């Protein structure tokens, strides 16, 4: 279209180069007419050459595809492709591909130059208006031409950039190489130069770029499937040897951590309340979320997510099965201590919440309590099987005490059973653990909440004498017990008095 429009203009302007029918003296065409036609005809010739070269490149490309994809064995195709590729991957072929847009742009600038010369001799008003626009276009084009050389991360690029660089590579660089002995440093195509330079810059800025990627991905999550993929990618990303996690964390903003925490909480709630996916899928999603949260937010946030899972109302409505507990047992055996603790807490809740005690439940319980089949049968057969619940509570309470876990509500949720109908030796073990926690809490006070959450079991095993007014008055009620030391002291006295009775 450009060539057609240019040819139409040349048909009119070329008339100024030949004498008119009324001219009798020797004819001499005006200088501006010569320049206008020279520039426009050159522009037309370059434009047509560009079109011809583009057609040739299309033919070369089709031939390359046809020759490198023949019918036959794969190894033959590979050899043919390697042979043809070596011929195509040379400077002349690449220069030809760059020349098509370069020639077209050059043709446009020649047309503008001829147009300005013509307008200057026709109308100064029109010339002034057009020259402003052309000047603006030239400035913008020049900016785009040299921009990728100084800012390789910028996507803007002009064909004349490649032409200028190629002039340097083919003409100036050989001269400089002989003068400064640069034979070991061959000139490269501009595109290769621009590809290598951003690669070096990206390598230096990789922690910040990785942080930006994480933040943008987190904002774009809008479906559960996308969140699952994101959490899975986070786990592999943080475990990768090529990722500098400490450096990335320095570039992550507080907004990212807040958004990640909200996303994880919302994902957990939706997973626990969803009845459209299988239980196995729910379990895997929870594990994926916990893994990602532990890596991004640290141990404390991972425990917070675990507390949310265990204390969720949706857990009561759709508690995980023992089959899921066996999958979670892998966490209990993890070499990562926080992950192992989280897995033990969730499995303890499963053992306490399951009503149908089948073989799968029994296997899970033996593994969690670390007892043999005979001991477990003794727990189950004693009265209503509440001894299993007490053993589970002792095991988990001991874990909370030794590892200083801070999951609020977990111990209370697994202690809803009849403590009086349990084996005496388990009751003694509970009392021993109670006194050990109490003595420690008198000194440090960091395990007070443990005693508070299992106190109803302690009270059931050591009921106070209603006729003992001193003990009743000393025992604080939930509404008035605002002094932890008073609560601990009264409970300890009751436990000690009960031991004396035995």
Residue 472's contacts (CB-CB under 8 Å, 6 or more residues apart) are 464, 466
Contact 122/175 with Cβ under 8 angstroms?
no
pLDDT at residue 475, as a whole number: 44
Domain contains 39: yes
Longest Cα pair distance anywhere in the chain, in angstroms?
144
Q: Is residue 213 part of a domain?
A: no
Residue 89 lies in a domain: yes
Instruction: State the Cα–Cα distance between residues 201 and 111, nearest whole angstrom.
Output: 39
Task: Count how many domains the chain has.
Answer: 1
453-468 pLDDT per residue, tens: 998 998 888 876 544 4
> Does residue 13 fall inside a structural domain?
yes
pLDDT at 439: 82
What would you report as the CA-atom Rg of the chain, rounded to the nearest whole angstrom?
A: 41
Question: In the prediction, which pLDDT does 303 show?
Answer: 60
The answer to whether position 79 is within a domain reads: yes
pLDDT in tens, 263-308: 888 887 777 777 777 777 877 787 788 778 878 887 666 566 666 6
Instruction: Out of 94-98, 189-193, 432-436, 456-460, pick the least confident.
Output: 189-193
With vertex at residue 486, the alpha carbon angle to CA 481 and CA 491, rounded to the nearest 5 degrees, is 95
| pLDDT tens by residue, 47-100 | 898 888 888 888 877 877 777 776 666 666 676 666 666 665 554 666 677 778
Confidence bin at 485 (pLDDT 50/70/90): very low
Within-domain flag for 311 = no
- Does the pTM of the predicted model rise above 0.85? no
Q: Is the pLDDT of residue 328 over 70?
A: no
Query: Is 62 within the bounds of a domain?
Result: yes
Say what the pLDDT of residue 373 is. Answer: 93
The proportion of the chain whose per-residue pLDDT surpasses 90, expressed as a percent, equals: 13
Residue 44 belongs to what domain range? 2-122
Q: Does residue 116 fall inside a structural domain?
A: yes
């Amino acid at each position: 279209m450009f060539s057609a429009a240019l040819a139409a203009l040349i048909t009119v302007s070329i008339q100024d180069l030949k004498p008119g029918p009324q001219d009798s003296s020797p004819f001499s065409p005006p200088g501006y007419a010569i320049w206008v036609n020279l520039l426009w005809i050159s522009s037309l010739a370059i434009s047509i050459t560009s079109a011809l070269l583009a057609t040739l490149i299309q033919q070369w490309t089709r031939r390359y595809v046809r020759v490198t994809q023949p019918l036959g064995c794969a190894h033959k195709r590979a050899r043919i492709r390697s042979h043809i590729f070596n011929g195509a991957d040379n400077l002349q072929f690449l220069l030809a591909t760059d020349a098509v847009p370069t020639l077209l742009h050059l043709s446009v600038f020649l047309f503008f130059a001829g147009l300005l010369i013509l307008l200057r001799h026709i109308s100064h008003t029109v010339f002034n208006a057009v020259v402003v626009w052309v000047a603006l276009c030239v400035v913008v084009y020049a900016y785009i031409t040299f921009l990728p050389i100084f800012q390789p991360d910028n996507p803007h690029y002009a064909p004349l950039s490649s032409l200028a660089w190629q002039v340097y590579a083919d003409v100036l660089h050989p001269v400089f190489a002989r003068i400064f002995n640069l034979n070991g440093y061959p000139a490269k195509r501009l595109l290769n130069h621009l590809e290598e330079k951003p690669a070096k810059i990206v390598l230096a800025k990789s922690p910040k770029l990785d942080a930006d990627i994480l933040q943008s991905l987190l904002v774009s999550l809008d479906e559960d499937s996308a969140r699952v993929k994101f959490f899975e990618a986070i786990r592999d990303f943080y475990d990768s040897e090529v990722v500098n996690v400490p450096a990335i964390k320095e570039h992550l903003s507080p907004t990212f951590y807040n958004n990640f925490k909200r996303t994880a909480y919302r994902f957990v709630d939706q997973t626990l309340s969803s009845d459209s996916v299988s239980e196995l899928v729910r379990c895997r999603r929870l594990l994926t979320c916990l893994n990602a949260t532990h890596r991004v937010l640290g141990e404390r946030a991972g425990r917070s997510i675990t507390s949310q899972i265990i204390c969720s109302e949706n857990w009561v409505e759709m508690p995980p099965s023992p089959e899921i507990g066996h999958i979670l047992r892998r966490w209990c055996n993890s070499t990562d201590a926080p992950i192992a603790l989280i897995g033990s807490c969730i499995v303890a809740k499963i053992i306490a919440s399951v009503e149908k005690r089948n073989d799968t439940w029994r296997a899970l319980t033996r593994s969690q309590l670390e007892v043999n089949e005979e001991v477990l049968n003794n727990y189950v057969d004693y009265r209503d099987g509440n001894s299993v619940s007490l053993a589970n509570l002792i095991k988990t309470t001991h874990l909370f005490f030794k590892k200083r876990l801070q999951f609020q509500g977990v111990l209370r949720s697994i202690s809803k059973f009849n403590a009086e109908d349990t084996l005496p030796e388990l009751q003694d073990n509970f009392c021993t653990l109670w006194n050990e926690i109490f003595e420690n809490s008198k000194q440090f006070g960091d395990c007070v909440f443990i005693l508070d959450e299992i106190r109803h079991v302690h009270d059931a095993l050591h009921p106070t004498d209603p006729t003992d007014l001193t003990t009743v008055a000393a025992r604080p009620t939930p509404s008035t017990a605002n002094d932890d030391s008073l609560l601990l002291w009264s409970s300890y006295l009751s436990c000690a008095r009960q031991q004396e009775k035995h």
